[in-house]
């Protein structure tokens, strides 16, 4: 009983003596994580709208299950990172980095990917125009040549990864680059267009015929979204 009273008294004293800045810091700390939480983005089209290039079943699983897992896991890892930071535990902070890269990359890559795609009725597959079209012609010869080079890069991925059309932020030049796992396009390069080469992106429909998936996806590429990212 005495101990309980002592604790209650200590708590009252602590609350009474908390400085306004300490209260403010605590309030900021409690809202920071809420604000930094990411959520699964809605698609601008129905799951079945990209058929026959990508089946509705794949789209539903890929978006509502796979992408959702990256979202949930990224939020979990950020929460752990903030706890490690609060404790000043540098080793724990470093140990979390690869998981943030994987799940944060998974979230940002898929968010870009959904924007990259559009049903034919909404312009999917329509070729790029303007400055991006000109830059593609000058770097790769033609759009068809770019598609061939991207498909070759996709076929060369061993295991899981992505191939991206990227823009060098220093020179403005376009490049085709492949990334393993969920490594995101960051730093020197700006993502323009990405294609997911993980088995979960095609296997239910194309099985071992992944080259068919890489060929068909161009029918639902949203070049308008790519043009907006190109600078
Ligand atoms: Mn995927």
Average pLDDT, the chain: 90
Whole-model pTM?
0.85
- pLDDT exceeds cutoff 60 at 14: no
What's the gap in Å between 72 CA and the centre of ligand 1? Answer: 15
**Alpha carbons 119 and 82: distance in angstroms, whole number:** 40
- Cβ neighbors of 194 (< 8 A, separation 6 or more) are 109, 112, 113, 116, 162, 163, 164, 165, 185
pLDDT mean over 170-183: 98
Q: Among 164, 227, 171, which Cα is nearest to 191's?
A: 164
- pLDDT exceeds cutoff 80 at 157: yes
- pLDDT exceeds cutoff 60 at 119: yes
Q: Which two tokens stand for residue 147?
A: 């598609």
- Give all domains of the chain, ordered by start, each with its CATH number: 120-229 (3.55.40.20)
Q: Name 174's bridge partners.
A: 167
What's the gap in Å between 138 CA and the centre of ligand 1? Answer: 31
Note the pLDDT of residue 11.
45
3-state DSSP: the chain helix, strand, coil percent, rounded to 5? 65, 10, 25
What's the gap in Å between 53 CA and the centre of ligand 1? Answer: 16
């Amino acid at each position: 009983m005495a101990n309980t009273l002592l604790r209650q008294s200590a708590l009252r004293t602590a609350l009474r003596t908390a400085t306004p800045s300490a209260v403010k810091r605590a309030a900021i700390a409690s809202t920071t994580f809420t604000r930094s939480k990411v959520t699964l983005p809605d698609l601008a089209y129905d799951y079945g709208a990209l058929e026959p290039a990508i089946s509705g079943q794949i789209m539903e699983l890929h978006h509502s299950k796979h992408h959702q897992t990256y979202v949930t896991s990224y939020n979990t890892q950020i929460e752990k990172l903030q706890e490690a930071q609060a404790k000043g535990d540098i080793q724990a902070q470093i140990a979390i980095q690869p998981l943030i890269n994987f799940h944060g990359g998974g979230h940002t890559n898929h968010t870009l990917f959904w924007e990259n795609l559009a049903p034919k009725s909404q312009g999917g597959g329509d070729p790029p125009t303007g400055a991006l079209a000109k830059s593609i012609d000058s770097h790769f010869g033609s759009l068809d040549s770019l598609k061939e080079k991207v498909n070759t890069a996709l076929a060369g991925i061993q295991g899981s990864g992505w191939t991206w059309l990227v823009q060098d932020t220093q020179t403005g030049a376009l490049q085709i680059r492949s990334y393993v796992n969920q490594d995101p396009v960051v730093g020197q390069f700006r993502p323009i267009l990405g294609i997911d080469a993980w088995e979960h992106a095609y296997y239910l429909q194309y099985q071992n015929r992944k080259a068919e998936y890489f060929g068909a996806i161009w029918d639902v590429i949203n070049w308008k979204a790519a043009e907006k990212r190109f600078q």
